[in-house]
Structure 1
Amino acid sequence: MKKLISILSLVILIGYTVSCDQNFDDFNTNQVNATAIDPAFQLNAAVVGLAFPTLGTLTFDVGIVQQVISPNSGVLTGANYNQDNREYSQSLWQGYYRNVIKNTRDVIARLDGNSNRANLIQMARLIQAYGFMVLTDDYGSIPYFEGGKGYTSQIFLPKYDAQQQIYDDLIKEVREATAALNASQRIETADILYGGDINKWKAFGNSLLLRLGMRLSEVDPSKAQQIVSSIGAGPFILNNSDNAAIRHDNNYQNPTGNTLNSTEASNFYLTKPFVDFLKNSNDPRLSAIAVRYVGAKSGPEQTMDRASFDANMQVGMPMGNDNSGAVKAAADAGLASFYEFSQADRRRVAKLTAPNFLITAAQTNLLLAEARHRGWITTGNAQDYFHAGIRAHMIQLGLVDAGSTISPEAINAYILANPLNSSTALAQINNQYWVASFLNGPEAFANFRRSGFPVLQANPFPGREVPFINRLTYPNSEISVNSDNVQVAIAAQGADNLATKVWWDK
């Protein structure tokens, strides 16, 4: 009996084993996970990845241009003290290479030679160029020609390239990609930026090329003029409906808004230079941007019943203060505490669902105003472009939140009171560019260095490393892993510190 049971057991085991072996592929094949992804979705991931990393831009870019600052030390150390903090200065680098460049490189490589998806290739080239421009503007020399090719080409230790070489290729890439966009070819309707609208993508490309050209205005004016004049009549991003913006919702929230509505809600404040500039010119945008919680003595006391949006009530935090300095600055200003200084309103312009603007009609009109003033373009009128830029930004604020709407009468009154004066045009235009780039930290930082406007006083903090921060430092991860190539870049560019200038910063 025992022998019979043993034989039957063996037969059953053999049968089960054969059965498992026969269905091995079925059992071990995941029926849920995708085995391929449409490259259009990869491009969308790259676009979403362009959203500015929260604490990287808050602790550095927007603080360097003296718009928003924190008196706190520790993890928030950065432009508040003009001190290095590689924990957060690396966030833009890591976010863009991992989430933007890796995806655009793969899209371009996968679609190489695929004429049916030609428009998608050009769109990927433009998004990649935008990402690389932000990276090189913030850091200087970066891995460009080999950068982001770890996945596509197994280049894990990429060489660094000089910014001048990077700019030459970016200009070529943007010019070629924009020209190659073709409305008669397949339209990529899955595109989350413009829904595949080729005219809007062309406007994006031309506006990006204009930005690239104007960046060279001081380092190589003749080349800047050649680039800008070559674009001709565009099209450009001249209306808010064409703005390049990452749209956010409650599921995918604005990174800056997320931070300012959570852990850092009571830690960041509008600066005195920014508030005073708006207040002294009777700019209606101050009421649209700012909130002051009158009488607040702590973060929990920053409640709506204390909220004032009155421009005359706004008080900016002076630069160069730690916590104790901020306490004294508040007392000197007659405030209950430093929690009473004005903030970027986290329920309106810095809300969770606020768009992340990349290139706007306001910025493009203002760059065209400068180009026309310099005589680099012959179309249009410098003052018309100037006023169109101001108007576009004022309207843009209301599109972000209805509570920030500025009336047409207030817009017209401000424009009438601010004609463009040829003797001060560069300052006027670039001061407005500073305001129009509010919360677009990398672009505000870049144009401030490029133009020299607004004229800001050096951060007075006693422990500052430099009077002004000129670039962000390389990540520790690069220094430890890609050390040889980093050291070559440093030898060519200059010390890896906050003082070294990027190539076009003259």
Structure 2
Amino acid sequence: MKNMKYLLFCSVVLLFTTSCEKDFEDINTNKVDPTSVDPVSLFNNALIGTSFATGQLKYDAAIVQQIVTPNSGILTGGNHNQDNRFASAEVWDDYYETVIKHTGDLISTLNERPEHSNLYNMTRIIQAYAFMVLTDSYGDIPYFDAGAGFSSQILLPKYDAQSEIYKDLINQVKDAVSSLNSSAEEVDGEILYSGDINKWKRLGNSLLLRLGMHLTKVDNSLAMQTVQDAFANGVMQANVDNYVIRHDNNFTNPIGNFLNGSEANNFYLVDTFVNFLADTNDPRLTSIAVRYVGAKSGTEQTEDNASIEPDEQIGMPMGHDNSSIGQAVSEAGIESFYAFSQVDRTRMVKINAPMYLITYAQTSLLLAEAATYGWISGSSSTYFENGVRAHMELMAEYDEDAAIASDEIDQYLMENPFNGSLEQIYNQYWVVSFLNGPEAYANFRRTGFPQLVPNPYPGQDITGDFIRRVTYPSSELAVNKENVDEAVARMGPDNLDTRVWWDKE
């Protein structure tokens, strides 16, 4: 009896063990969580991530005197020339935690997969663009070690000198563009150019042109060579080549979302910008601006009192806060600061508005500058007119009610012909870079134009006339202090006065 029980027990154990071994792999395979991510989807996430965060309104757009708020607290920044590390962290966090993370992962995984060579090189171009924005904003930043948390387990990346970053960015973009191959695999599903290799090459060369022009103050020889290389290989030719993030109701425009939400009544067009457009009868003022005539509060900013007429626009002066803005209101002869002009959030900054990062208009004006130096062939005047015309034609892409008729564009160019001056090119670059704060700010520091009157707000955190960089996030000071300290020792104090490498006095 004992033997029979023992044999029965062994049979059950054997049957159970066999069954477990047979089903072991199936049982321990997770059929819900993905084991890999489509690289094109990851790439598109990186692309979408380059759409600027709201930090550009708090610093860049205010410093170059296009958009400002009188409010302080979490909105403090260029409006009062004060250090606000909450605001300065926004571009850093958005770009490192999304764009650089995704591009770093893609580059490490696609590097040895020749079937994805085009996607690999597209990724390098987008990563170079993101790093340019970051280093132009902060100066020395994590670069060679950045985005390597997954591939190399580098959790506390060292900071690299901007001079070395720029040299490598130029080399990376050149190599990426030359390696793009229309005979290689198609990149189905990428959302910028639908896999059009020629457009990707023109984007890469236009980025290269921008990188080169940023260096005119610090390394004229490298600037000239880089610009000539970009021009020779072909830059953007029309608005269809623009690097634009097209938003929808699911992937909303960060600026549009911000200005149509909690901050709808807090940001206004600066009088410097409004007056510049008005003084030259620029039709873009009608496309950009709205003023809620007679509004005494945010709730009184309604469709009924909205005016886009250029002669009714009144920009907000710099240098005020909540306690002093009443003086500006009185001097302007309006009811409240809610009656100053704003960028129209029903057209140009609606939640699904496109965001332009590198454009044919900007590229054409940089070519006008390069032609003025004699670096490239072609007419400065033609490049200048192409740039202005392209930006005016772009207004229709924000909203059909913002479109500018071709005869209005012709009239403007006839009344404001190119006079051959660099100042005229730079001033137009300021206009065509509206809502592209990082580039408008970079070009202002590089050229000194437009000639702005320094912000008169008292109690500033700067000793010079303008903010020269934004400060590192507090999180970096807390967790990566050793590497931050090394960068500060090389670059200069972590404050608003320190100039980035290419911003030479």
Q: Structure 2 length as normaliser, TM-score?
A: 0.95
Percent same amino acid at aligned positions?
55
Q: 1:235: how far off? A: 2.2
Distance 1:320 1:48 in 2: 34
Aligned residues of 1:199 and 1:235 also touching (Cα < 8 A): no
Aligned residues of 1:135 and 1:142 also touching (Cα < 8 A): yes
Q: Tell me whether 1:444 sits opposite 2:450 in the alignment.
A: no
Deviations 1:323-357 (A, max 9, x none): 12212211110101000000000010111111111
Query: Secondary structure of 2:141's match?
Result: coil
Q: Which residue of 1 aligns with 2:424?
A: 428
Distance 1:348 1:26 in 2: 55
Q: Which residue of 1 aligns with 2:89?
A: 90
Aligned residues of 1:317 and 1:326 also touching (Cα < 8 A): no
Aligned residues of 1:238 and 1:362 also touching (Cα < 8 A): no
Q: Which residue of 2 aligns with 1:228?
A: 227
Q: 1:14: how far off? A: 12
Task: Provide structure 1 residue ranges, at least 5 long, that are not aligned to the other structure.
Answer: 1-10
Distance 1:297 1:31 in 2: 59
Aligned residues of 2:105 and 2:147 also touching (Cα < 8 A): no
Q: 1:260: how far off? A: 0.3
1:290–1:14 CA distance, 2 compared to 1 (3 A): farther
Give the residue type in structure 1 aligned to 2:403: T
Distance 2:477 2:124 in 1: 28
Q: Which residue of 2 aligns with 1:265?
A: 264
Q: Which residue of 1 aligns with 2:37?
A: 37
Distance 1:72 1:86 in 2: 16
Distance 2:60 2:14 in 1: 68
Q: Which residue of 1 aligns with 2:101?
A: 102
Q: Which residue of 2 aligns with 1:348?
A: 347
Q: 1:18: how far off? A: 9.1
Deviations 1:245-302 (A, max 9, x none): 1110011100000000010000000001010111111111001000000000000110
Q: Which residue of 2 aligns with 1:453?
A: 449
Query: Secondary structure of 1:213's match?
Result: helix
Q: Tell me whether 1:111 sits opposite 2:114 in the alignment.
A: no
Distance 1:299 1:27 in 2: 60
Deviations 1:29-77 (A, max 9, x none): 43233211121211111111101112x1111111111100001111101
Distance 1:185 1:245 in 2: 25
Distance 1:115 1:16 in 2: 47
**Mapping of residues 136-175 of structure 1, within 5 Å:** 136-175=135-174
Greater Cα offset, 134-143 or 184-193: 184-193
Deviations 1:411-467 (A, max 9, x none): 001111122222xx2110011011001111111111111111111111100121123
Aligned residues of 2:209 and 2:231 also touching (Cα < 8 A): no
Query: Secondary structure of 2:357's match?
Result: strand
Greater Cα offset, 11-20 or 124-133: 11-20
Distance 1:30 1:292 in 2: 57
- What RMSD, in angstroms, separates the aligned Cα atoms of the two structures? 1.8
Q: Which residue of 1 aligns with 2:311?
A: 312
**Mapping of residues 476-487 of structure 1, within 5 Å:** 476-487=474-485
Q: Which residue of 1 aligns with 2:486?
A: 488
1:18–1:148 CA distance, 2 compared to 1 (3 A): same
Q: 1:100: how far off? A: 0.7
Q: Which residue of 2 aligns with 1:292?
A: 291
Aligned residues of 2:206 and 2:230 also touching (Cα < 8 A): no
Greater Cα offset, 232-241 or 425-434: 232-241
Distance 2:39 2:481 in 1: 33
Q: 1:234: how far off? A: 3.5
Q: Which residue of 2 aligns with 1:418?
A: 416
Distance 1:109 1:116 in 2: 14
Q: 1:26: how far off? A: 4.2
1:38–1:280 CA distance, 2 compared to 1 (3 A): same
Aligned residues of 1:319 and 1:459 also touching (Cα < 8 A): yes
Distance 2:129 2:435 in 1: 17
Distance 2:78 2:227 in 1: 33
Q: 1:113: how far off? A: 1.9
Deviations 1:376-419 (A, max 9, x none): 112x2100000110000001111111011011111001111122
**Mapping of residues 39-438 of structure 1, within 5 Å:** 39-54=39-54, 56-378=55-377, 380-422=378-420, 425-438=421-434
Q: Which residue of 2 aligns with 1:7?
A: none
Query: Secondary structure of 2:160's match?
Result: coil
Aligned residues of 1:71 and 1:322 also touching (Cα < 8 A): yes
Give the residue type in structure 2 aligned to 1:38: D
Q: 1:233: how far off? A: 3.6
Greater Cα offset, 490-499 or 110-119: 110-119
Query: Secondary structure of 1:292's match?
Result: strand
Aligned residues of 2:106 and 2:123 also touching (Cα < 8 A): yes
Query: Secondary structure of 1:346's match?
Result: coil
Q: Structure 1 length as normaliser, TM-score?
A: 0.94
Aligned residues of 1:289 and 1:345 also touching (Cα < 8 A): yes
Distance 1:115 1:459 in 2: 53
Give the residue type in structure 2 aligned to 1:31: K
Aligned residues of 2:104 and 2:146 also touching (Cα < 8 A): no
Distance 1:193 1:150 in 2: 27
Give the residue type in structure 2 aligned to 1:167: Y
Aligned residues of 2:205 and 2:231 also touching (Cα < 8 A): no
Aligned residues of 1:299 and 1:339 also touching (Cα < 8 A): yes
Distance 1:447 1:301 in 2: 37
Q: 1:20: how far off? A: 7.8
Give the residue type in structure 2 aligned to 1:143: P
Deviations 1:196-244 (A, max 9, x none): 1000000000000000000011111122111111234442113111111
Deviations 1:139-159 (A, max 9, x none): 000011111211111111111
Give the residue type in structure 2 aligned to 1:487: D
Aligned residues of 1:72 and 1:267 also touching (Cα < 8 A): yes
Query: Secondary structure of 1:460's match?
Result: coil
Distance 2:131 2:231 in 1: 24
Distance 1:16 1:137 in 2: 65
Q: 1:17: how far off? A: 10
Aligned residues of 1:214 and 1:224 also touching (Cα < 8 A): yes
